[in-house]
Amino acid sequence: MTTDTHKPDDPPTMHDVDKVGSLFVVYFVVLGLAVANILLAEFGHLGNLSLPVQLGIGTVQACLVAWYWMHMRRGDKVVTLTAVTALFFIFIFYVLVLADILTRWRAAI
Amino acid sequence: MSIVIADEPRVAAPPPPEPVVPRRNYLNTEYGVLSWLLTVDHKRIGILYLVSISAFFVVGGIAAGLVRLNLLSPTGAILTEDQYNRMFTAHGVVMLFLFLIPSIPAVFGNFFVPMMIGAKDLAFPKLNLASWYVFMIGAGFAVYAVLVGGIDTGWTLYPPYSSRSHTNVTPGVFGVFITGFSSIMTGLNIMVTIHKMRCPGMTWGRLPLFIWAMYATSFIQLLGTPVVAITLLLLLAERVGGVGIFDPAIGGDPVLYQHMFWFYSHPAVYIMIVPGMGVVSEILTCFSRKNIFGYKAIAWSSVGIAVVGFLVWAHHMYVAGIAYYSALLFSFLTMLVAVPSAIKVFNWLATLFRGSITFHAPMLYTLAFLVLFTVGGVTGLFLATLGTDIHLHDTYFVVAHFHFVMVGGMVLAYMAALHYWWPKMTGRMYSDFWSRASATIIFVGFFFTFVPQFVLGYHGMPRRYPNYPQEFQIYNVLSTAGASILGFGYLLPGIYLPLSLFFGVKSPANPWSATGLEWQCPSPPTTFNFDFVPVVVCGPYEYAIGVDQLGRGLPDPPGPGDAASPYRPVGPAGPIHKETEVVG
Amino acid sequence: MSASTHSPVLKHHFDNLEQQHSAERLGMWMFLATEVLFFSGLFVAYTIYRHWYPAEFQFASSHLILWIAGLNTGFLITSSLTMTLAIRSAQQGNRSALIRHLIATAALGTAFMGFKAYEYATDVEEKFVPGWIFQEEYAEAVADLSEKDHSTAHAKHNPVRELAKLNLDKSVNDPGYISPQRVQLFLCFYYVMTGIHGIHIIVGIGCILWLVQQAYCGKIPRENYSTVEVVSLYWHLVDMIWLFLMPLLYLAGGGLKH
């Protein structure tokens, strides 16, 4: 199949060519989020909220990059499965290590 | 419901004619050292791995022998304390990282995964060759470290001692770090191959159980190995840079190293055992002439072990200072991982039930696996239980448990695989008598070696100590005596297998009358495995109706008396019948 | 049909290009999964220590050079854009645009590494390096500060001396005491994380230059664009990891003014 005959209503395939406009939209959003992240950290005085906010912004950026630029939106199911599995095992890693760290008795240090 | 199908002759489909032995196969298509060192053929790379890890097995075995010899006397028979420390570390590092982890995945996985799913090669042949080179480079560092100068930290390399020990830790850690990449490459290759390169008709439900096991193994290799890589890198940074994140002097936490290390190294024992379980599933059903009992249960239990195996690592750390609550949690989770393992054992037993069992060498090794793995698995529960582990932690009980699972389980499964597939890999049959003898000797020697260690451990002899009280000597002598029997048993295949290359009878394509696709190629296979595109029409173990995966009939299985074929063992009973039971 | 069975880019053991390309992509994604777990070890460790030692992490983080981090973030995000544009050019069979975009990507990656090197050099100059460099500077600063006239204390100015001044007249258990040991712990993370990330960038630049060479020799025809895509997946992941490293390392100061 060639990209020329591909109609916009068809489900996305791997061979779609990205539109330059959409690539630049993603670019400016990701860049803007990065700037916002730095400005918020320097002048936002978010206190305890700052870490979740920073990581939240990072996650949004990462999702945008993965979804649009890494073409996850039109990839195989097994690609999505791979990505989700990796994140799930990081989750396990975090939860079980923190289960120890946060309940451990530590002398005053 | 159960239907007994027992009649003879009962031929569902005619067996295929013996394929013409091609003039060129993967072994003689090219000659010369370079044709091996630059090959991208998965089969040749499998052989490269086979030769290299056999060498490492000898190195690790010699280290083990020296450790056992030293323990003959309560004060150390032949080694100084320092040498003893270096020796058991050498044994651990070489056997675990250079033998057990690459053993079945890199040798038989490389060789047979493409053949069993009907592919011409693995998905990334060059990556496959690279993995062998990376492995050899890493192995070079590791072997250099443990043999020249040595490492005295034990294979677990716990800081802060490992970051300060004045032995050869740096190249050793670096070597292990590098071999990890080879493991990732192999796992990635096999995983992509299974996903993308199955032949027509080879659905997930028709995959041989060895493939399911390799899939689960690759899964662990992919997700676990990078974590130990970063851990070892941090350890190296600490050792070389003099300051690091596990360093208690600057507020670091050495227990964190153990968390990160065991996040990989506990699942790593499943990298070692799950392929063995796959091999056992293949061999048990073939030599029982019965369909596997509970295909889905065994397939999914492999995946279950791979996932649950990631949740249990801190049972190595109950007494290392982790929180009581998390110790409780990990104790519970560890119990969970026994469930899929037990599912497998029960299904294997049900497969054996009323089968027409023949005791050829692969089957003998497999039955030994069943016994020893079950003992090892059950004693594992003692260690999983928080209360008893505090008594048994770091004693010879742990050593015995681990060796029951790893040597009794994994090494025997490796030997079983080697004997099962040897005719396919080399086109030659080995000595039937000597192979059976070696299986028996290994089994007996194994029991003598490790049962006394359970007793020793229960009475409190700690592991990694060169000295012990007088009353433990009898058990240690027993164990060392058993180890020499075991060593003799391992020596035999080292003699008759190479001899079979020159003097063995030529093997037919399907010597065991097995159903898998790999037996449909000639022995030894041609470079691209299949001259035709195989189309799979049924499940992998249709022994009940006697058809292979291409829907063709099976040749007569090797019975204890089929005198017509000279390579088959001769016995009093005559050829066995295809008596089979279909349950369900 | 883009998937011709006799295409010169089809490798012998695949049935068709579709299978070959999806295998390559899946292989790269699986490799990325291992990469993510590789970094996750660092992230888990970082989380723990930040939880234990928040004040030290805040102090050390606020003394890193934020403007370089911000600039580098811009470089990387832009390089990801040009990389995606390179895929697009490859899909369209536009060789000169492909080469242009690849070179732009490699140049932006090199700029990242250049500023990174400048940043490391500045850190070393400021003795902001864990281990004996830090410890000697700290000990010297403490010795200078204990002199009555403070004349030499102002001779040099760097984060280590600032820390020594901050801890003046405080003992270990006082509130507000910032342990110099644990500041070094943060610095270990800083160097290991950015160092490993930098190695990944260098590998990525190498892969992109290899792509340039391939494209120049005409070995990346239109139906083989997935080679570019596979490298781009890796490059994007390295970019994504930076998007997390940047806030964790540079923005942990929480606006602490210095």
Residues paired with B462 in a beta bridge: B395
CA distance B490 to B449: 14
Q: Is the pLDDT of residue B367 over 90?
A: yes
Residues on chain A bordering chain B, Cβ-to-Cβ distance under 8 angstroms:
78, 85-86, 89, 92-93, 96-97, 99-105, 109
Considering only CB atoms, which chain A residues are within 8 Å of B325?
Answer: 99, 103
CATH at residue C223: 1.20.120.80
Asked, for residue C73, whether it belongs to a domain, the answer is yes
Read off the pLDDT of residues B92-117 as tens digits, 9 standing for 90 and up: 999 999 999 999 999 999 999 999 99
Interface check B185 vs C, CB under 8 A = no
CA distance B93 to B204: 36
CA–CA distances in Å: residue C236 to residues A37, A75, B357, C214: 19, 15, 56, 20
pLDDT at B1: 46
Do residues C135 and C179 lie in contact, with contact meaning Cβ atoms separated by under 8 Å? no
Asked, for residue C3, whether it belongs to a domain, the answer is no
In this complex, which of C26, C44, C52 lies closest to A78 when CB atoms are compared?
C26
Secondary structure E strands in B462-523: none
Q: Which site among A19, A25, A30 would you substitute to test the C interface, given the most C Cβ atoms closer than 10 Å to its Cβ?
A: A30
In this complex, which of B120, B192, B226 lies closest to C26 when CB atoms are compared?
B192
Interface check B227 vs A, CB under 8 A = yes
Asked, for residue A97, whether it belongs to a domain, the answer is no
Q: At A48, is the pLDDT very low, low, confident or very high (cuts 50, 70, 90)? A: confident
CA distance C185 to B286: 57
DSSP code at position B1: -
Residue A28: domain span = 3-75
Q: At A3, is the pLDDT very low, low, confident or very high (cuts 50, 70, 90)? A: very low
Asked, for residue B16, whether it belongs to a domain, the answer is no
Pick the residue from chain A with its C-alpha nearest to B188. A82
Whether the ipTM is more than 0.85: the answer is yes
Q: Which chains touch A (3 or more CB pairs under 8 A)?
A: B, C
Pick the residue from chain C with its C-alpha nearest to B120. C13
In this complex, which of C13, C26, C132 lies closest to B195 when CB atoms are compared?
C26
Domain count, chain B: 1
- Mean pLDDT within B376-405: 93
Asked, for residue A95, whether it belongs to a domain, the answer is no
Do residues B367 and B373 lie in contact, with contact meaning Cβ atoms separated by under 8 Å? no
Subunit contact A94:C44, Cβ cutoff 8 A: yes
Q: Hey, CA dihedral for B540, B541, B544, B549, is it positive or negative?
A: positive
As given in the structure block, the two tokens for residue B257 are 């190293």
Residue B124: domain span = 36-583
Do residues A101 and C51 lie in contact, with contact meaning Cβ atoms separated by under 8 Å? yes
pTM of the model: 0.92
Read off the pLDDT of residues A11-44 as tens digits, 9 standing for 90 and up: 556 667 888 899 999 999 999 999 999 998 888 7
- Mean pLDDT within C196-205: 96
Read off the pLDDT of residues C234-248 as tens digits, 9 standing for 90 and up: 999 999 999 999 999
Asked, for residue B22, whether it belongs to a domain, the answer is no
Q: Which site among B220, B250, B256, B257 would you substitute to test the C interface, given the most C Cβ atoms closer than 10 Å to its Cβ?
A: B250
Asked, for residue B11, whether it belongs to a domain, the answer is no
Domain count, chain C: 1
Read off the pLDDT of residues C138-197 as tens digits, 9 standing for 90 and up: 988 888 888 755 555 556 678 888 888 888 888 887 888 888 989 999 999 999 999 999
Residue C183: domain span = 55-250
Do residues A23 and A68 lie in contact, with contact meaning Cβ atoms separated by under 8 Å? yes
pLDDT at B3: 54
Subunit contact A66:C240, Cβ cutoff 8 A: yes
For chain B, report the end-to-end CA distance as a whole number of angstroms: 5
- Mean pLDDT within B519-546: 89
Q: Is the pLDDT of residue C86 over 90?
A: yes
Asked, for residue A80, whether it belongs to a domain, the answer is no
Domain count, chain A: 1
CATH at residue B534: 1.20.210.10
C75 or B247: which leads in pLDDT: C75
DSSP helix/strand/coil, B449: helix
Q: Which site among C49, C61, C243, C250 would you substitute to test the A interface, given the most A Cβ atoms closer than 10 Å to its Cβ?
A: C243
Q: Is the pLDDT of residue A2 over 50?
A: no
Work out the minimum CA distance from B42 to partner chain C, whole angstroms: 11
